[in-house]
Amino acid sequence: MSPVDSWLFAEILAFLFACTRATGIIVAAPLSWATAPARVRVVLVLLLGLAGYSQRPAVDPGLARQSTLVPLVTELGIGLAMGFVVRLAIAAAEITGELMAPLMGIGAAQMFDPATHTPENVLAKILRNFAVLLALLVGVHRVLLEGLLASYRVLPIGSSLDPSRAFPSILALSNQALLVGARIALPLLAILFMTQVTLAFIARAAPAMQIFNVGFAVTLSVGGLVLVMIMPDVGHGLLADLSHVGIRIESVLLDLGALP
């Protein structure tokens, strides 16, 4: 292979690797593009790959002589790790809904989510869409895309990296998502627990009352009223968690070997 052919092939591989890293972002981050048609997402990946290709340092011509499978997996892993940071921030809202729905009596109402291909309850879907709206309002998509473009400079395309080094940070962020979701849902859970205890005392005092028929309406009404009252606090809690997305992406990149 002539030097010109090696250079051209290395540049083509660099563009392919840049698109692969962008693909991981689009696949993992559940933002506005998650429900877009496949053609739109492909065009977005190509545009991001082209932008990242222009941001990368000079490509080593020796890249054309290396195996392409390992770098492809590495680039995809980098993109998935960055996108998964946003996924976990949105998951806090879903966890809140999954905790609230059973005590409110609507846990059995399941809907199929075409984005994740899994069933979820109605309340979790509403809160997830609310969290995505908040993420777009505060510019999480801009932070994510800025982190993607910066990653092409601090983690050069085709670098020999180990994506598993980001697992400890991802596990810590998973734990953080569970804590945030439980903390946001705690006021409603406490009130519904007291409502259930009150209904139990009523059922004990008046055994003839059909408490199961009455209890569903009571818990649903109380849960809905309390949810409306605490929605500002829910929004503040989700915004506080979303505001740390940029720092978390930077931490993941540092774990992967980026220069500070």
Q: Does a structural domain hold residue 152?
A: yes
Using one digit for the tens of pLDDT, what is the confidence trace for 214-227? 777 788 888 888 88
Domain that holds residue 128: 3-181+238-256
Residue 128 has pLDDT above 70, yes or no: yes
CA–CA gap between residue 219 and residue 161 (Å, rounded): 52
More confident residue, 113 or 104: 104
Structural domain contains residue 117: yes
Q: Is residue 210 part of a domain?
A: no
Predicted confidence (pLDDT) at residue 178 exceeds the cutoff of 80: yes
- Token pair 């499978």 is found at 69
Q: How many domains is the chain built from?
A: 1
More confident residue, 66 or 187: 187
Answer yes or no: is 55 within a domain. yes
Q: Cβ-count burial of 72 within 10 angstroms (0-12 exposed, 13-18 middle, 19+ buried)?
A: middle
Decide: helix, strand or coil at residue 119.
strand
Q: What average pLDDT does the structure give for the chain? A: 81
Global confidence as pTM? 0.81
For the range 190-197, what are the long-range contacts, defined as Cβ-Cβ under 8 Å and sequence gap of 24 or more? 191/222, 191/223, 191/226, 192/103, 192/104, 192/219, 192/222, 192/223, 192/226, 193/103, 195/219, 195/222, 196/103
**Residue 216 resides in a domain:** no
Domain-located, residue 221 = no
- In sequence order, the 6+-apart residues with CB closer than 8 A to the CB of 27 are 79, 80, 83
pLDDT digits (tens, 9 = 90+) for 110-120: 665 655 566 67
User: What is the distance between the terminal CA atoms of the chain, rounded to a whole angstrom?
Assistant: 38
Which is nearest to 80 in space by CA: 12, 133, 28, 6? 28
